[in-house]
Chain A
Amino acid sequence: MPAFVKFWGTRGSIPTPASWTRVYGGNTPCVEVRFDNTLFICDAGSGIRELGKDLLTRQPAPKELHLLITHTHWDHIQGFPFFAPVYAKNMPVHVYGRQAQDNSTYQLLSGQMSSDYFPVSFKEIGHSISADFFQDGQREIDGVIVRSFALNHPGGCFGYSFEKDGRKIVYATDNELEIKPGEVFPDMEDTGPPRHMPSSLLEVARDASLLIMDAQYDEREYQTKQTWGHSCCFSVTDFATQANVGTLALFHHDPESTDTQIDAKVQACRLRAARHGANLVICAAREGVELKF
């Protein structure tokens, strides 16, 4: 069976509705990963609101939903109170922690629905939501092998990979691929050699059909934003090349990036990948686009 991936929110940091974000979208992270009728939701940014409305119209409706939160910074959870299926009460939602007994994500999701922040109490929807967990970073769900892995982001963050029938989807947002000493940076003219990447992360992404990866900045922007927990697109391109992935989707677009600037970033990354001899499809994650693998 093929895997389907649909982008419902691709923007980082804060929702950015504007004429200049109309193509790639202004909603914060939410990605649907679907194998047959098993449905995973990566992050609950503002994009999850539209996903929720869509889920309620689907035939057949999913029997249950698996919600995987990378971390609880606002842009990754702010849409959850507006996720209609939890009010419909006939579509159970599993929220996953990193380990057994780890219900911190569940607690933080419920915390943002305290009366100080939101008018509807978590108690009213709590019975639709169950706290679940991974065992040693792995879990098999309906035949899909789901793995979680640590990323480099202030306060911590986890990525997820999904594997079934030879298809592998990797979601790795809010991650900083750091520049190593001696590497060419900023590489404004794109003349430098490939950058060195963490081997453990390369193994996680190795041969993925699709890698969705944080590429918030270009070389110029990253100069002033190192240690903020996001990567520049040339590093991500080098990473995808070395991991031998099929398709790379640049993700977590900067709120200041216009559609035109994102187009330019994609083109620059394609040229860099070609210069390094990579057989790699590169795109920018775009709200409303669904891919099939």
Chain B
Amino acid sequence: MADQEPTMTGDIRMLRRGRETHRHSLELLEGEGALREITIEGEELTIGRSADTNFRLSSKRASRLHAFFRVRGTDCILRDNDSHNGVYLNGLKVYSAVLREGDVIQVADSVFVYHEE
């Protein structure tokens, strides 16, 4: 009988707490500067040619505020800011998209791979 007793006790919410945490990041594959990983901190990361953006591009193909990444719940959403050259998701021009692990995003001349943990 002892073999059938539960081996774990405690609040299941504590045991599963890691599931509430989501980390969103972009791996720069091609573009300006060294290849690196950019973590999307807080609720939004902006990208564009303006000095006000969180991730600045110097390419003339980039608009001033070209696009942004927004965290909503456990999802990360890519949104074009009505830029001149648009944003591409896995080669398709999109206006907005809920991102998934491994998605390839192109903004101007920069190419990123999206990761979620």
Contact = CB atoms under 8 A, between A and B. Distances in A.
Interface of A: 4, 6, 22-23, 281, 283, 286-292
Contacts of A288: 75, 77, 97-98
Given A289-B89, A292-B80, A22 B100 contact: yes
B50 to A, nearest CB: 22
A236 B92 CA distance: 19
B98 A287 contact: yes
B interface: dominant SS: strand
Contacts of B100: 22-23
A283 B92 contact: yes
Contacts of B53: none
B25 interface: no
B56 to A, nearest CB: 25
Interface in B92-107: 92-98, 100
Contacts of A292: 80, 95
Nearest to B100: A23
Pick the 3 closest A-B CB pairs, nearest first.
A288-B98, A292-B95, A290-B96
A251 to B, nearest CB: 14
A148 B21 CA distance: 46
Contacts of B75: 288
A289 B80 contact: no
A23 B97 CA distance: 11
A291 B98 contact: no
Nearest to A281: B92
Contact of B95 (A4, A283, A286, A287): A4
A3 to B, nearest CB: 10
11 contacts: A6-B96, A23-B100, A286-B97, A288-B75, A288-B97, A288-B98, A289-B97, A289-B98, A291-B93, A291-B94, A291-B95
Interface in B20-35: none
A281 B92 CA distance: 8
A6 B77 CA distance: 13
A33 to B, nearest CB: 13
Contacts of B92: 281, 283, 289
A286 B103 CA distance: 12
Nearest to B79: A290
Interface in B55-114: 75, 77, 80, 89, 92-98, 100
Nearest to A263: B90
Given A291-B94, A291-B95, A292-B80, 5 more contacts: A288-B77, A289-B94, A290-B95, A290-B97, A292-B95
Contacts of B98: 287-289
Contacts of A287: 98
Nearest to A259: B100
Most buried by A among B92, B93, B94: B92
B82 to A, nearest CB: 9
Contacts of B93: 291
A291 B87 CA distance: 11
Contacts of B94: 289-291
B70 to A, nearest CB: 12
B81 to A, nearest CB: 12
A286 B98 CA distance: 9
A105 B77 CA distance: 35
A4 B79 CA distance: 13
